[in-house]
Structure 1
Amino acid sequence: MALIHPTAIVDPGAQIDDSVSIGPYTLIGPHVKIGAGTTVGPHCVIEGRTTIGRDNRIFQFNSLGAIPQDKKYAGEPCELVIGNRNTIREFSTFNIGSPGGGGVTSVGDDNWLMAYVHLAHDCKVGNQTIFANNSQLAGHVEVGDWVILGGFTIVHQFVRIGAHAMSAMNAVLLADQPPFVMSQGQPAQARSMNYEGLRRRGFSAERIAAVKAMHKALYRDGLTLEQSRERIAALARETPEAAPDVALMLDFLARVSPQRGIVR
């Protein structure tokens, strides 16, 4: 039997692994699935078509799987999918997806999501991210692996944040933030690259030098976005070790909307 407190209300249709722990006064809906080793604190509501993987720590007072804050939503069977080994702190709200955005809100593995984080419908969060307190994502936002959002960061709908990027406290992101970039301000502007974070993740000096060259091409040499892409593509030939980092940047820039652009 799962370790379910007697005051918790778990619908008989929910699929709960025997090793799951559920705290007092928590409500679990009929379409919820929770994997082995996950703990759910007291006073949580987990509803909708929500799938939660293994070994997650969900603290008290969370709302996961509620319908999207979208007037067009009409009860369609959309989902929230959460991976493995995530920490979700107090008072966070993750909504299911919407038909207009693919129908799924997703969170990957090994993320650290602090108190009062909001993930609106159809957001896609990668792996190994850190969202500080009160980080707020509007609908359809995409966040790459290893991203760090400072406290009270606000992200506009449809904005994309590339892998290894970082925002300062109180940043307001209205445009796409490329991989490796550090941003600050309202609206957010590019300040530097996340060099210290890359060093901590084991990036070699050659790879970090290539990231510096990408920053120079994007922000220091007065190039257009297309000219920057051409300059960045050449780095893969000059520094073969950095070829995956260059490919990551080029893939991100290829999908930038001309209307939205990138943080500058």
Structure 2
Amino acid sequence: MNCAAPAIHPTAVIDPSAVLGAGVQVGAYAVIGAEVVIGDNTRIGPHCTIEGPTRIGRDNVLHAHAAIGGEPQDKKYRGERVTLEIGDGNSIREFVTINRGTGDGGGSTRVGSGNWILAYCHIAHDCSVGDGCVFSNNATLAGHVTVGNHVILSGFSGVHQFCRIGDFAFIGMGAFVNGDVPPYLMVAQEKYARPRGINAEGLKRHGFDASRIAAIKRAYRALFMGDTKLEEAKTELGEIALGSSDVRAFLDFIDAGERPLLR
């Protein structure tokens, strides 16, 4: 058990209502506002700004000049109490911005655990990000975006508001995503992002065996190759899903969407 008191640089400014766990480190000229809670052993770099209400878990590292928990960039925001929640073990690099939610959008922005969010990334209001994701430099989420687990957003990629990205997807560099991306897909940029096969290498790294990947490939071919209409393709997916829980998750993701499917 770590019982060490927080180590706070004398130039840091911390609101009296902020709660810092054991072993927290706060760098020079950092500013921590009201209603901020920071878990054990989290490190806050120099010149970081954290506004509340924000709750940050344990063992995170926030590098210099990150701006966390700021007001949502939404003209409808009128100062209502909205929150940001960040899990454990995240690396948040220089100049990252993560905003709190909006009253009309559920009231909270959420980031899970074990994510790498590299320099200059932006996560807007009311987004939900899962665990184990990598956001490369300048990747940007508009408001209300849902990102699953183990997703990679390459550098300079951008995601339109209200879109969803499923588990284990890979978004290529500079891709502008304006529709839902089902699990396991790899997409690349033309005018807008389009499917370019499944994220096979990423699936292998996460323990998917050959039979699971083969079923996902069959589902991909049924949905994205040829001129089959969406409803016909979904019927074929339903047949494949009888023997594959991965394809069942793929089909369930499609059925739950509000945005058009990226196709």
Pairwise TM-score range, normalised by the shorter structure: over 0.9
Q: Which residue number in structure 2 is paired with residue 109 of structure 1?
A: 113
1:224 to 215, 221, 229: 229
The 1-side partners of 2:241 and 2:168 are apart by 19
Residue 167 of structure 1: CA displacement?
0.9
Residue 223 of structure 1: CA displacement?
2.2
Q: If the length of structure 2 is used for normalisation, what is the TM-score?
A: 0.96
Per-residue CA distance 1:66-90 (angstroms, 9 max, x = gap): 1001111011110010001010000
Q: Which residue number in structure 1 is paired with residue 100 of structure 2?
A: 96
What runs of 5+ residues in structure 1 fail to find an aligned partner? Answer: none
Is residue 171 of structure 1 aligned with residue 152 of structure 2?
no
Q: Which residue number in structure 1 is paired with residue 126 of structure 2?
A: 122
Residue 8 of structure 1: CA displacement?
0.5
Q: Which residue number in structure 1 is paired with residue 75 of structure 2?
A: 71
Residue 165 of structure 1: CA displacement?
0.6
SS of 1:158 mapped into structure 2: coil
Q: Which residue number in structure 2 is paired with residue 156 of structure 1?
A: 160
Per-residue CA distance 1:31-60 (angstroms, 9 max, x = gap): 100001111100000002110001001101
Q: Which residue number in structure 2 is paired with residue 199 of structure 1?
A: 204
Q: Which residue number in structure 1 is paired with residue 137 of structure 2?
A: 133
**Alignment RMSD:** 1.0
Q: Which residue number in structure 2 is paired with residue 12 of structure 1?
A: 16
The 1-side partners of 2:75 and 2:65 are apart by 25
Residue 226 of structure 1: CA displacement?
2.2
The 2-side partners of 1:57 and 1:84 are apart by 10
The 2-side partners of 1:145 and 1:131 are apart by 12
What runs of 5+ residues in structure 2 fail to find an aligned partner? Answer: none
2:53 to 37, 49, 55: 49
Q: Which residue number in structure 1 is paired with residue 249 of structure 2?
A: 248
The 2-side partners of 1:80 and 1:198 are apart by 30
Runs of 4+ in structure 1 deviating by more than 6 angstroms, as ranges, are none
Q: Is the 8 A contact 1:3 1:18 kept in 2?
A: no
The 2-side partners of 1:95 and 1:120 are apart by 5
The 1-side partners of 2:148 and 2:249 are apart by 10
Identity of aligned residues (%): 48
The 1-side partners of 2:260 and 2:147 are apart by 16
AA in 2 matched with 1:205: A
The 2-side partners of 1:35 and 1:235 are apart by 44
SS of 2:110 mapped into structure 1: strand
Is residue 24 of structure 1 aligned with residue 23 of structure 2?
no
AA in 2 matched with 1:212: K
Q: Is the 8 A contact 1:16 1:34 kept in 2?
A: yes
Q: Which residue number in structure 2 is paired with residue 262 of structure 1?
A: 261
